[in-house]
Every structure is written in structure tokens, then in C-alpha cells.
Amino acid sequence: MPDPVLRTVDLTKVYADFWGRPRVAALEGLTLEVRQGEVFGLLGPNGSGKTTTIKLLLGLLRATRGDAFVFGRDPSDQAVKHRLGYLPEETYLYQFLNAEETLAFFGSLFRMPAAVLKRRSDELIGMVGLGHARKRRLGEYSKGMARRLGLAQALINDPDLVILDEPTSGLDPLGSAEVKELIIRLKAAGKTVLLCSHLLADVEDLCDRIAILHQGTLRECGRVDDLLRSDDRVLVELAKPTAEQLAAVSSAAGSSLIGVAPPRERLEAHFRRIIKAAGTSTQGKP
Amino acid sequence: MHWLAGAWALAGLTVTEAMRQRLWLLFVVAVACLVIQAPSLQAVDRGAQLKLAVVAITGAISFVITLLAVLVAATALRRDLDSRTGFLLFAKPLARSAYLCGRWAGVQAGLLIGILCLCVVGTLTMVWQFPTMPEMRRVINPAGWEQLSAFGQAIPIDEAKERVQLSGAPGNGVRWRFTGLPAHPPSTGIEVLLRVGVHGFDPQASVEEALVQVSALPAAGGPDAAPQVLAIDAQSPYGRTRADQPVSAGQAVVRDRDESRTDLSTDYLRLRLPASCIDASGAATIQLIRLESRSALTIGRSSSLKIAGAGGSFFANLVRGGLVMLAGASLLAGWTLVCAVVSNIGVTALGGLTLYFAGCALPAMREVITYNDTSLAARRLMNLGLEVLPDFERYGVAVRLAASEAVDWSMVLSAWSYYGSYTLVFLILAWASFARREL
């Protein structure tokens, strides 16, 4: 089995006060692995230690105890950072730059050749749908536009590992869907994605495996299908069944019928369908 | 190379940010207004107004770069930390040392652009306002001096002595030794500048001028050769007449000019040193002899006699003066980065400016210590300050330019090595603090 892309062993972070006295244990004994090509979800309520974990994996914090390895190396190693892309929870970009300049700046930190950087920048700006606003300063961007650009900067170096902290935060449903499609494309390209999100539906749709953190401790870790599987119930789909047919299915299975309800479309799919239909009907109108 | 790429990117970012804030425009307009205003200020003559304009430009440059060095360095680093842009930056392959050096270099580059703008605007407004520009002179100070008795005997002067007073019977004087002069000077000779203090002995009678003879020993002929009297330059502001009466050949009239009169154009008697008095190694000996007993002369070791050469255009000197001031600002930017790493924006700005004001107060501290009229604890504190604080008044660019004295490249180098050593220490301190800091 190849080395995991990310590995933490008993990773612990205790924040200390000015005098060095322990104040808050943000993360306690986290041990997990993320393998190549996986989309791994890190879940947990506010204050559960997700951001601390990410900061430790980026080398922005020093662990109080335990180890973290990214591509088998210490996270603060500059070689590691060449293969890593990061989108923080909020988009902290320079307001006085425009989209092109922002990507050129972040690209220059990787010493990318100018021609490659230009090509990559154009490609990413197009991909995140900011072609029309590429010359506008970020101070004039909406939150969603800044988020899209944040995503573009995370991918400027074509990273092998992408760490996305709440990537769909601030995006409209269409934008969220595009980000989700992008993550699927990254996975298809063999990239590893570490995804932090409060939106459980997103995580459920995208992640191969998830870890659930609570109060700094790992509560559960495993494949999404395995974790969500319910062995004591079965879903049967019937087209417009009668009461007799339902009773027959139930008695044939030798089980009690718990509930009957028509299936519901997911709101996101419904919204996208409406927007798509509206777009089709207005085509050709002035 | 990655380190350099990171530092370069950050420097570019800092300059871009400074440019887009358009603070320069404000300062450029302020400088133009100051210089335009200069002729209407109270001054004794046009020359004094010209000096005021020069001081206005250099003062404005000094003020602007001091303020911007502190504010730009403080806000750039603190904003990255406070707005958490640092998360993004340091998730990239950017070393913290490269970040600090890049920010520092960006501040310097931004200030350099600002200095050039202010120099251009200042010079243009001066050209517009004044018929003539200051004539800049590059001066060479004496390498050594000795006193001459009335019998022509040379007496060594104590090394610690900066000034001597000549009185008593006429015939005594001072002899200066110069080195580093051009071995092949122009046929018209080299300009010599002389300025002495003249005092009378009778409080009822004001004596403000004295008769002297200024001569140089010929290069060939040995120490016993007859000194060659230096001719007064046609452009000299004074020297040929005494109370509207011309003086004899070989004599010159020096007017009382104390240490506060430093303008090379108006305060110094100008003479010509002939090429025949400069030896092959570029050395020359010039002497001043008192010719009358009714006055005493106060003569400074390096301030009374100077050899002057063309100092280049005013604009070039202003730019070099700006570079000297930039060296001081580089130190402030380094110190501000130290403060910014360990504290918030308010403390950082205060810390940066406090160092500047403390550094500017060194002459006052020296004076207080000299008069010895303060407590022991305060004296010790001030002595410590004199040892460790950078002296922002060390090069006196404004005074120098106002006195038409050129700022040469050696002064720029000296300033960068003096302030640069502080800057280096501050950048290392900033890095040591920043490397330990968690984001």
C-alpha cells in the first residue's frame, strides 16, 4: 500500500497563555490517515478542532504532542507546500489586487514560469467563472466571487493535495454545485482532497471517508457508506402502489411497515432544475 | 532561489499596495506647496529664501519617509496577521525570513520611488521659483593642522582640540595639511574656502573683520621655500575691501563668521590654490597668518579651511541626500517590523516613531551630559542611549544641502553601513520573533 498523503499520530494541540500555562486543549490524540486520491471529510461542530487540525497540517501551528506527516514529511517543510493547495474558511485575499494579479502573486510564490502561470491563471479564472471580473479589484467582489477566486488560488500550483475549509461557504446553490463538481474532477484526476464542512449533505455527496471530531477528540472515522448504513431497515421503491400492494410487500418480507411517503426531491436538485429551466425559457429573449 | 522568489513577490506586493493607496500624491502636492510658499516667507534676501526652499524639500522628504516607513511596515505585517492572510501566505512555500525581507525591501522600494518623485517635484518648483539654483560644492577637509608662532615656528595642536584662538602679536597663524587632492588639477587651480571667527578686545568697538594672509607651500622647493600667496577668487563674496577700502596685494580681509554660518556660497572667503602647490601624491599645505593685533581669530580644525570641488547638480545631490535619509528610514522599517511581530498596530506605530524621536534627541542628550546638571541615574540612562540608539541627526542632510555642500556617494555608503548595521540587527530580531510565532 502506498504511503498515506496525510498521517497524524496522537496529534495534540494545547493552546497556552502568555506565560506558557495550558489554556485550551483544542485537539487531543488525533490519529488518522488520508490516502492518495481520496476525498476525506473532516466533520465536527464549531470548536471541535477542525481548523486546528488543518493549521497543524499546514505547519502554521506546532503540535504540543504527537506528529503530523504530509507526503511523509514534516508539514513545515517547504517541499511539502509546493504540492499543497489551501482554501481557508474565509477568503483572506488582498483587496487592492484584481483576480489576475492575485493569481500571479500566489503563483509567483511557487516560482512558476511566467508563461505557465499566465496559462494556468486564465484557465482557473475561466473555471471559477470570473472571466468577466478578472480586472476588477477584489474590494469590489461579492463574497461568493471572492470565494471562487480563493478556490482558484488554492489550485494555482496544480496541487496533489487540496485542503478545503468550508469551500461552499458564501456560494449560491449553483456555485456550490460547481464546487462540488470541481471536487469530483479533482478526485478523478487523482488528487487528494481534505474537505472540512458543516454542510453534511455536501460531505455525504462527495467524501469517500469521513472523520467526526467533537471537543478535540476523534469520535468516528470510516467510509461514508459504512457509517451511514442501517442494517435494520430496507428501502423499497414502488411506482404508485396501492394499500394492498404495500401490505403484500410487507407480509412477503415478513416485516412491519414503518411508514409510507412519496419520495422527495432534494432541494438543491430542485433549485438547479428550476434555474436551468428558467435559463432555457429566456434564451433568445432581449 | 525560492527564498528570493518569495521575497521578491512580497516586495512587489508591498510597492503595489503603497502605490494604490495614492499617499504619494498627497505628499507631492504638499512639497510643491511648501516650495512655492518659500519666497513669501520672512527671509533677509533671495539666498536665504533659496535655503528655506531647500530645507522645505529635505524636511518634507525626511518627514514623509519617516512616517511612511513606520506606517507601511506596521500596517503591511499587522494586516496580514490580523486579517489571517498569513494563513494563505504561509501555506505556500514562503519562508518567514523571505516574507520579512520582502516586506522590508518593498517598503524601501516604495520609499525610493517617493523620494525620487519628491526630488523631481521639489527641484522643478525651485527652478520655477528662483532664478539660480544652489551651486553645490564637494569639500575636502584637512588631514591635519598645526599652529604657527609669530616667529614662524610650527607647534603641534592637541588632537582633542577642535578650535584654537589666535591673538597677541601679529604674524602667528595656523597651517593645515591636505591630502587626497587631484594630482593634476585644472590650470586655474582649486577653490579654497576660508571662514574664521573675528573678535575685538574692546567691548566698545565692534570688530568684525581682520586682515590675514593665506598662502600655500610650493610642492617643489622643500619646506624652506617661500609660501605662495593665494589669490582671491573673482566670485568670492568678500575679501578684497576693508570698510570700502581695497587692501594691498597679498592680503585678504576675513569677516566674522561663527560656527552657525555654514553656507559655502556666502559665508566663506574663496581663494585659488595653484596647481604648483599640490604635490604628486595630491597633498598640499596651506597657512593663514594674522596681519594685525587689534583682533583675535577663532579657527576650527575642519570648519575653517576646506578645499572645494564641483559637487554636481542640485538635483543629483538632493537624490543622494534622499538615499542617506532612506538609510535611516530602512532602520525604522526594520524596527517597526520587530514591533509588528510582537504587538498590535497601535503599539507598533508608537514603537517605530518612539525610536525615531529618541534617535533625534541624541544631540540634546549630549548637551545635557556635557553640562552635567542632571541626576546620575538620568545621566547613565542618557549615556546608554548614546551608546545604543541610532543617531538620526548624524549626517545632517538638510543643513548640508542648505549650505550648498554636496552629498557624495561616500556619505551615502557611510549612512547605509551605519544605519544598515542597525537594520540587520532589527531584521534578525524580527525573524527570531516571527519564526517562533504560531499563526
| Average of per-residue pLDDT across B118-128 | 88
Write down the residue that cell numbers 511596515 correspond to: B73
| Average of per-residue pLDDT across A58-82 | 91
- State the helix-helix crossing angle for B362-371 and B376-388, rounded to 10 degrees: 140
Residues of A in contact with B439 (CB under 8 A): 55, 60-61
pLDDT of the residue at A163: 94
Residues of B in contact with A86 (CB under 8 A): 87-88, 91
- pTM equals 0.84
A144: cell is: 461568493
The beta-carbon neighbor of B91 closest among A79, A86, A101 is A86
Domains of chain A: 6-228 (3.40.50.300), 243-281 (no CATH)
Rounded CA gap, A155 and A138, in Å? Answer: 18
- Beta carbons of A92 and B85 less than 8 Å apart: yes
The beta-carbon neighbor of A84 closest among B85, B89, B91 is B91
pLDDT of the residue at A222: 83
Going by pLDDT thresholds of 50, 70 and 90, the confidence category of residue B39 is low
| Average of per-residue pLDDT across B412-425 | 96
- Beta carbons of A55 and B87 less than 8 Å apart: yes
Residues of A in contact with B5 (CB under 8 A): 108-109, 111
- Point out the least confidently predicted range of A56-60, A244-248, B4-8: A244-248
Percent of chain A residues past pLDDT 70, beyond the cut: 90
pLDDT in tens, B202-213: 777 788 889 999
- Point out the least confidently predicted range of B7-11, B202-206, B355-359: B202-206
| Average of per-residue pLDDT across B343-363 | 90
Would you call A73 an interface residue with chain B, using a CB distance cutoff of 8 Å? no
Rounded CA gap, B29 and A122, in Å? Answer: 40
Pick the more confident residue, B94 or B187.
Answer: B94
| Average of per-residue pLDDT across A272-286 | 59
- Beta carbons of B439 and A93 less than 8 Å apart: no
pLDDT in tens, A255-267: 777 777 776 666 5
pLDDT of the residue at A272: 64
Rounded CA gap, B240 and B220, in Å? Answer: 29
pLDDT in tens, A127-174: 888 888 899 998 898 888 888 899 999 999 999 999 999 888 878 888
DSSP-derived 3-state class of residue B359: helix
CA distances from B437 to A59, A73, B81, B431 (A): 11, 21, 11, 10
pLDDT of the residue at A133: 87
Residue A28: closest CA among A15, A19, A41: A15
pLDDT in tens, B93-112: 999 999 999 999 999 999 99
What is the CATH code for B137-310? 2.60.120
The beta-carbon neighbor of A58 closest among B6, B16, B91 is B91
Write down the residue that cell numbers 419520495 correspond to: A263
pLDDT of the residue at B43: 67
One-letter amino acid for residue B246 of the chain: P
Q: What is the ipTM of this complex?
A: 0.81
How close, in Å, is residue B312 to chain A by CA atoms?
41
Classify residue B392 as left (phi > 0), alpha (psi -120 to 50) or beta: alpha
What is the residue extent of each domain of chain B? 2-135+315-436, 137-310
Q: Mean pLDDT score of chain B, rounded to an integer?
A: 88
Residue B185: closest CA among B214, B219, B213, B215: B219
| Average of per-residue pLDDT across A220-228 | 78
Residue A146: closest CA among A169, A123, A180, A114: A169
pLDDT at A281 over 70: no
Classify residue A103 as left (phi > 0), alpha (psi -120 to 50) or beta: alpha
Going by pLDDT thresholds of 50, 70 and 90, the confidence category of residue A284 is very low
pLDDT at A278 over 70: no
Residues of A in contact with B92 (CB under 8 A): 81, 106, 109-110
- Beta carbons of B439 and A92 less than 8 Å apart: no
pLDDT of the residue at B97: 93
Residue of B nearest to A137 (CA): B20
pLDDT at B326 over 90: yes
pLDDT at A285 over 50: no
B399: cell is: 543643513
Pick the more confident residue, B246 or A70.
Answer: A70
Would you call A58 an interface residue with chain B, using a CB distance cutoff of 8 Å? yes
pLDDT of the residue at A286: 45
pLDDT of the residue at A237: 78
Going by pLDDT thresholds of 50, 70 and 90, the confidence category of residue A122 is very high
Residue of A nearest to B439 (CA): A60
Half-sphere exposure of B272 (CA within 13 A, CB side): 13
The beta-carbon neighbor of A111 closest among B2, B85, B89 is B2
